[in-house]
């Protein structure tokens, strides 16, 4: 149901007045417009930044090293000035445009300097320099995409190989550490969420970091379930994996219930039911080799959909979400 129809129903039920309905629709319309234009500016900035890189690359051999540096820093300075002016003027769309351009220029400038002066620092030093130098621009932008790009760039700096070598003498099977990693990821998510509640009006980075940690936790949960719970082998290990997976989903549903958030509650209920379906399929997969099994599988899918719909209706009637 669209917002216009919802608010009309609210007016009929006397939850809000017609004047309040108009204010709500006007506010949401402005919000949607800002999101559209900011996204358009971000896309434009990405295309312009990449176009500049391609244009320079096409004429690379015709430029002297010092001319390359002068043009690069002049262009970079112009973008920074544009960012300053758009921020002071409150032009959020232009601010996003210049944030994106500055973020891309940081990486291009580091690569240019490394090439001209023959610096062989490798990926780690390049990524580290890009992460540190672009941090001010990432703080200013509210683009979830470029926040994620910066976060993934920072994550690539973590020495995963060295951690594995360090932990091997203490743990014979490193897969046993996955539940601890899951707890760590969720703790980081909770910390970033708390930080976002305090500074969300100024910085969007904690919110996107919380998303990244939560998505990583879900991927790890399903990885544990698929590698241990659905694999043929030790029954004890399978039960242990199922406890971890269902325990995580139950915990997330409990948190959603306490916070009266229907969306996360429904998503986790669906994910749990999908995992139950995967468990069934992992044990009954041999039957799919026959025609009757396909018919039975189709009926099982219909039964799964029926149970899912019934579950959603029950959830919507729960007092916590009224």
Q: For 9-33, what is each residue's pLDDT tens digit? A: 667 777 677 777 777 666 665 554 4
Residue 105: pLDDT over 90? no
Token pair in block for residue 27: 């506010």
CA atoms of 125 and 105, how far apart (whole Å): 17
Q: What is the mean pLDDT of residues 78-85?
A: 92
Give every CB contact of residue 94 below 8 A, 6+ residues apart in sequence: 41, 82, 86
Residue 187: pLDDT over 90? yes
CA atoms of 37 and 34, how far apart (whole Å): 5
Q: What is the mean pLDDT of residues 111-136?
A: 85
CA atoms of 283 and 248, how far apart (whole Å): 23
Token pair in block for residue 316: 């919507």
CA atoms of 151 and 187, how far apart (whole Å): 17
Task: Give the Cβ contact number of residue 34 at 10 Å.
Answer: 12
State pLDDT tens for residues 229-259. 887 667 888 888 899 999 999 999 888 888 8
Residue 200: pLDDT over 80? yes
CA atoms of 272 and 218, how far apart (whole Å): 11
pLDDT of residue 131: 94
What does pTM read for this prediction?
A: 0.73
């Amino acid at each position: 149901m669209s917002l216009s129809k919802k608010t009309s129903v609210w007016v009929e039920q006397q939850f809000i007045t017609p004047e309040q309905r108009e204010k709500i629709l006007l506010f949401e319309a402005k919000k949607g417009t800002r999101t559209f234009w900011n996204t358009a500016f971000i896309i434009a900035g990405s295309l312009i930044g990449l176009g500049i890189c391609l244009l320079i690359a096409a004429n690379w051999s015709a430029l002297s090293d010092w001319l390359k540096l002068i043009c690069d820093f002049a262009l970079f300075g112009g973008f920074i000035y544009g960012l300053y002016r758009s921020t002071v003027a409150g032009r959020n769309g232009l601010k996003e445009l210049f944030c994106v351009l500055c973020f891309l220029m940081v990486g291009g400038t580091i690569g240019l300097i490394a090439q001209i002066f023959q610096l062989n620092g490798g990926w780690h030093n390049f990524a580290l320099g890009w992460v540190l130098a672009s941090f001010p621009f990432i703080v200013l932008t509210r683009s979830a995409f470029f926040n994620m790009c910066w976060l993934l760039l920072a994550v690539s700096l973590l020495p995963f190989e060295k951690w594995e070598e360090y932990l091997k003498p203490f743990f014979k099977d490193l897969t046993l550490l996955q539940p601890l990693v899951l707890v760590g990821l969720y703790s980081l998510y909770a910390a970033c969420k708390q930080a976002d509640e305090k500074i969300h009006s100024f910085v969007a980075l904690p919110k996107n970091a919380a998303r990244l940690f939560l998505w990583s936790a879900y991927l790890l949960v399903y990885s544990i379930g698929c590698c241990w719970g659905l694999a043929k082998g030790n029954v004890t290990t399978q039960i242990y994996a199922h406890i971890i997976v269902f325990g995580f989903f139950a915990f997330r549903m409990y948190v959603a219930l306490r916070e009266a958030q229907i969306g996360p509650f429904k998503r986790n209920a669906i994910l749990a039911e999908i995992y139950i379906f995967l468990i069934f399929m992992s044990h009954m997969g041999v039957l799919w080799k026959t025609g009757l099994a396909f018919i039975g599988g189709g009926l099982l899918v219909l039964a799964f959909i029926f149970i899912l719909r019934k579950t959603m209706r029950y959830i919507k009637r729960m007092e916590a979400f009224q």
